[in-house]
Amino acid sequence: MVFSSLTFMYVYLPIVLGIYFLVPKVLRNSVMFIAGLLFYAWGEPVYLWIMVLSTLIDYTAGLFMHKYDHSPTARKICLLASVIMNLGLLSIFKYSGFFVSSINTLIGTSFPVPEIALPIGISFYTFQSMSYTIDLYMRNIPVQKNPITFATYVTLFPQIVAGPIVRYSDVQNEIDHRTISLDLVGEGVAIFTKGLAKKVLLANNIGALWATIKAQEISSLPAATAWLGILAFTFQIYFDFSGYSDMAVGLGKMLGFNFPDNFDFPYISKSISEFWRRWHITLGSWFKSYVYIPLGGNRKGLGRTVFNLFVTWMLTGFWHGASWNFVLWGLYFGVIIILERLFLGAWLKKIPAALQVAYSFILVVFGWVLFEFDKLSNVWSFFKAMFGANALGFANADTLYYLLSYILVFAICIFFSSDISQKLALKIKARFPKVWEYGTPVVCIVVLLICTAYLVDATYNPFLYFRF
């Protein structure tokens, strides 16, 4: 992973950008398409054909939907073919083992459980490609007849493996006609550098603590150590995933695309409903547009609204992984959001804002326990450790060592996961515009050098959302 990170930053990316800026505009989509294929093949050569097949399915479905535009039946068949084939591929490669093992457990059979390696980013590019045919069926977008242009959209290498999920409507104008300026490239470099720093300097460092604590027997963890561990994971997954999203958005701007933002300081949310408006924004928007609203949304009475929320959040959890802990994780948030819709939201507004944030943050932390442990027995054991059921006391010498070793990292993570950092940056930019203008490139260079030093020496450099 270290080699891949360095090679991508200092070899692959400069070559792609150099070729992209040098070729005529008419060839830039072809460069992007080839770059996307090579980038994916670099990390997952065996399963490149799945992404290509998904692209062909939706491109062909779109053409036939356009050809038979005046036939509602034909258009519906095209849509169903796209959805069934895409979800079929996703089910085979991501969920087949889960389905078979669940059947074996439920009815006592012994069917062989398929052991299929999960293709990187299959959930992301499948949803991205499939959204095109759904939007086309709903007449929200025009058909794309150029196969290279459509393939460019599906294989956009900045965000192909871990989001944000970009709908065709997000880039339909830029996919054919995009403008690249020095200011836009500079803005993209700054956003990319911010994302890289989140990932390398914050996620990796705080994640090392969680890796150390998670490797221990859960029954040997005192309460404070368990809390330190899951708090470390709480910040790791945020800075890891939002860092990757920022890098994707920054690269997109360098190439002339304006990808949607995927995070908006979710840990300062005052409710779980607000948290999910700030966390993985593009996924929440996808499920709202293509599941919740088609089911009826909140237009068919309270009972139906509760049912629609339940289904949507069960599927949101299941999207993240083929394991019961992900299903329960989705339902956990779904139940809380339903309660907030029924009465809890009104009650929250009556208490101080700080308590609202604390309520949301603590529930999110509990949710990450469900998310991180695929065995439900481990989930229960870790919850017991958090509340002192291991009878090992509140803390031990290791707890103090971890706290002293990581207290500065925790403080930095808290600062940058709040919007204080953004507000401070905006004040500096407004008050000292020249300092901001000339200081930003210097800061970017310094941060890139520091990140490079960390990558060269790193032994712990996972991308958590690549597994989805």
List the domain range (segments joined by +) for residue 86.
2-178
Residue pLDDT, tens place only, 415-432: 999 999 889 988 988 988
pLDDT at residue 35 greater than cutoff 50: yes
Q: Are residues 147 and 286 in the same domain?
A: no
Cβ-based neighbour number of residue 226 at 10 Å: 25
Q: What pLDDT sits at residue 316? A: 92
Percent of the chain with pLDDT over 70: 94
Pick from 161, 178, 195: which residue ends a domain?
A: 178
Alpha-carbon distance of 185 to 354, in angstroms, equals 39
Q: Where a domain ends, among 178, 198, 224?
A: 178
Boundary-marking domain end, from 156, 178, 200? 178
Residues annotated as catalytic (active site), given as ranges: 320
Residues 56 and 105 in one domain: yes
In this prediction, residue 464 has a pLDDT band, given cuts at 50, 70 and 90, of: low
Contact 224, 394 (CB under 8 A): yes
Work out the average pLDDT over 50-59: 90
pLDDT at residue 2, as a whole number: 39
- What confidence tens digit (pLDDT) does each residue in 129-140 have? 899 999 999 999
22 Cβ partners below 8 Å, 6+ apart? none
Whether the pLDDT of residue 6 is over 60: the answer is no
Residues 364 and 383 in one domain: yes
How many domains, in total, are found in the chain?
Answer: 2
**Between 281 and 106, residue with greater pLDDT:** 281
Give residue 95's pLDDT: 83
How confident is the model at residue 8, as a pLDDT? Answer: 64
Residues 163 and 226 in one domain: no
pLDDT digits (tens, 9 = 90+) for 201-238: 999 999 999 999 999 999 889 999 999 999 999 999 99
pLDDT of 179 above 90: no
Residue that the structure tokens 């083992």 belong to: 97
Amino acid occupying residue 213? I
Write the pLDDT tens digit of every residue in 379-410: 999 999 999 887 677 889 999 999 999 999 99
Asked if residue 234 and residue 169 are part of one domain, the reply reads no
User: Is the pLDDT confidence value at 7 over 80?
Assistant: no
Gap between the Cα atoms of 420 and 418, Å rounded: 5
pLDDT of 3 reads 39
Is residue 156 located within the same domain as residue 211? no
Q: What is the pTM of this model?
A: 0.89
Q: Is 395 in contact with 231 (CB distance < 8 Å)?
A: no
Q: Which of 43-47, 193-197, 250-254 has the lowest mean pLDDT?
A: 43-47
The pLDDT, as a whole number, for residue 408 is 96
Q: Report d(CA 222, CA 314) in Å as an integer.
A: 33
- Sequential DSSP letters for 210-273: HHHHHTS-GGG--HHHHHHHHHHHHHHHHHHHHHHHHHHHHHHHHTT--PPP--S-GGG-SSHH
347 and 434: one domain?
Answer: yes
Are 451 and 333 in the same domain? Answer: yes
What's residue 4's pLDDT?
53
Structure confidence by residue, pLDDT tens digits, 138-157? 999 999 999 999 999 988 87
Rounded to a whole number of angstroms, the CA Rg of the chain reads 23
* Cα(166)–Cα(99) distance, integer angstroms: 29
Claim to verify: residue 141 and residue 247 sit in the same structural domain: no
The pair of structure tokens assigned to 206 is: 């705080």
pLDDT digits (tens, 9 = 90+) for 334-366: 999 999 999 988 999 999 999 999 999 999 999
Question: Is the same domain home to 110 and 237?
Answer: no
* Same domain as 208, residue 327: yes
On the question of pLDDT at 48 being above 80, the answer is: yes
Same domain for 250 and 273, yes or no, is yes
Cβ atoms 85, 154 nearer than 8 A? no
